[in-house]
A and B are shown apart, each in its own frame.
Chain A
């Protein structure tokens, strides 16, 4: 038993770390966030060239065949540098759904395009009424002579406006919240009847509400089994939660480091404010929060990698921890920076907002705690 990374993993991590540190400074990131697209196409091409877009994909499609640990290492570095490009949406949501559900032909055409940077994707899984429940789907897909006809609305679709291709969850049978009867369809963003209204989120990313009006898709664009989409979505979500937790960990570490640094240099009452024990203990608490989150992340990644039965339990626990520990960490970071922490100019608030978005994505702490309770105590 050990917690060491392979040489290859260390190289990968270091390459991302170096890029984020040298080529992705906060001011550049702010410009990208303020741009109309909310991402940089040049950066995206660089990620492709560096091989980052290939990490989780199978080798037969030109992928790196990476593990959950590889993704974790990369995501943690992305978190530290507050990456804004749609890595999660394109590679870890859209890409993972394709990898898990796509037929060979669809995979053969699209996965290489994701890897070379020419295809941006999005997974449209949320609806107005669904809150955190992946199974709450009202969008319908009705079979017709050409394949299927989709009607409904998807909301807060990450990367929805920039995506070339969408994977949409739609109901092919069953009632509103049934897990059975949900199917996934590949839909071109340019297809007739797809209407997209895009808007910006607090972490700088662009999302979209997507209305589908009689959108026609051919039968080969069904991913996985008819009515079996929920299982794919759940598997994608589990892995994405690990990746998001790793990103969160990167952010938490940065917030703690920045706060520690600030309190050592900020003087009030003729001394550094880090000399006040009241603040020291708080920073010790957030340090422990960080370490505990890291431990649960490693635990969940190991459980996932080894295919342990209780991987789901560990992931729920991790999401609870990311919420509770993450919230304490960003709140303390802002508080200990005093007025400075309230400014948009300082990066601390931006880290906080990305962390807040991560906490909410795929269910907040309460949501996952209820799931955890149901598995452990019912």
Chain B
């Protein structure tokens, strides 16, 4: 048992720290926070990371990964979060890419992977449907064979960033025989294909990131199929494990908790700062203690993975605890903001309004409700642990 850093680790840390300080500037930060400039800013940032060679720490080296060991990945992630640098958009880099490099053909790897690394394509994930959320395998969007193509009909929903996307990776039904998990096929679909309509869904944070994506006789070449027809569920499941490691968001939570604490040091009630209020301190420490534990839970899981083990059901625990902590921090930030949590974005200058973070606190709190719903809801994660770990 030893979790101390070696000299090389510390040198690596300093290098990462210096890079973030120099490259993720204020201008980029504020453009990424603005809906109108969000996409351009993210693309620009991800290209800077790509140039640095750090865009895909999780990928195998031969496809463009960094070759870092798990300590280095941990350091990188901690430094990124501590510097308040946004994480990469996951749909291409950490969701579909592992499926492509694990199960794709050579042509698919050549066609898609370099463009994902360079953020030349923006991807979105087309899994959920109006009737199929937690019970994803019941999905109904239909793909019928027509010569060398599939013809797609149906609808996907809750598709994050579909409005920006060049490509969507989809699970579609190619057969209704046998178990529902059989007969699902994994397809990569060009969003410019005729017959695709994207309808916006405004969420409770008053933003538009969600969409409904409707397919009407959309023609997709078979060359865009991953692996075999009817085997898509297997590939998707492999991807889900990827999706959940790192979902704990420990490093970001550490930073966000620190930020709440700083806000609380400036908030005064009856002559005393909120940060000095014993009740508030207990709220902070309740979260911090969970977070201290979760950081080590995550390290233990990563150590198992590094030793060749599978992340398995432990990743469900990271997801549950991680999202609960995220929500607790968001909620505490709301408490600090008091009345100002209610302020909708408006034209008033900060001095005029009298507050700087209330509106942003609410946005992340409201959107943050989703963290216990998406990526397999926390109830579903508990079902997984009950079954796979407790053997119930």
Which residues in A have some Cβ–Cβ distance to B below 8 Å? 126, 128-129, 131-133, 135-136, 153, 155-156, 176-177, 197, 199-203, 209, 267-270, 273, 276, 278-279, 327, 331, 334-335, 338-339, 341-345, 349, 352-353, 356-357, 360-361, 364, 366-367, 369-370
Contacts and interface: CB of A to CB of B under 8 A. Distances in A.
B369 A343 contact: no
Interface of B: 128, 131-135, 138, 157-158, 201-204, 206, 210, 267-271, 274, 277, 279-280, 283, 331, 334-335, 338-344, 346, 348, 352-355, 362, 366-367, 369-370, 372-374, 377-379, 382-383
Contacts of B374: 339
B338 A136 contact: no
Contact of B343 (A126, A201, A352): A201
12 contacts: A136-B271, A209-B353, A269-B134, A279-B379, A334-B204, A334-B369, A338-B373, A349-B204, A353-B342, A364-B335, A366-B277, A367-B269
Contacts of B362: 202
B338 A360 contact: yes
Contacts of B134: 268-269, 273, 338
Nearest to B362: A202
A199 B377 contact: no
B348 A335 contact: no
A329 B270 CA distance: 30
A278 B344 contact: no
Given A132-B338, A199-B353, A341 B344 contact: no
Nearest to B280: A366
Question: Which secondary structure characterizes the binding site on chain A?
Answer: mixed
B59 to A, nearest CB: 30
A335 B268 contact: no
B370 A342 contact: yes
Most buried by B among A273, A331, A335: A335
Most buried by B among A156, A269, A279: A156
Contacts of B210: 339, 342-343
B335 A366 contact: yes
A129 B132 CA distance: 49
Contact of A156 (B274, B334, B339): B339
A364 B132 CA distance: 38
Contact of A331 (B335, B352, B369): B369
A74 B283 CA distance: 35
Nearest to B339: A156
Contacts of B354: 128, 153, 155, 209
A203 B378 CA distance: 28
A97 to B, nearest CB: 19
A353 B362 CA distance: 10
A22 B138 CA distance: 39
B375 to A, nearest CB: 12
Contacts of B346: 199-200
Contacts of B128: 339
The 5 closest A-B pairs by CB, nearest first: A349-B204, A201-B342, A268-B135, A344-B202, A128-B354
B371 to A, nearest CB: 10
A278 B382 contact: yes
A131 to B, nearest CB: 4
Contacts of A327: 331
A200 B343 CA distance: 6
A178 to B, nearest CB: 11
A351 to B, nearest CB: 11
Contacts of B131: 267
Nearest to B331: A327
B202 A129 contact: no
Given A200-B344, A269-B135, A356-B342, A339 B269 contact: no
A234 B106 CA distance: 74
Contacts of A176: 271
Contacts of A136: 270-271
Contact of B204 (A199, A279, A343, A370): A343
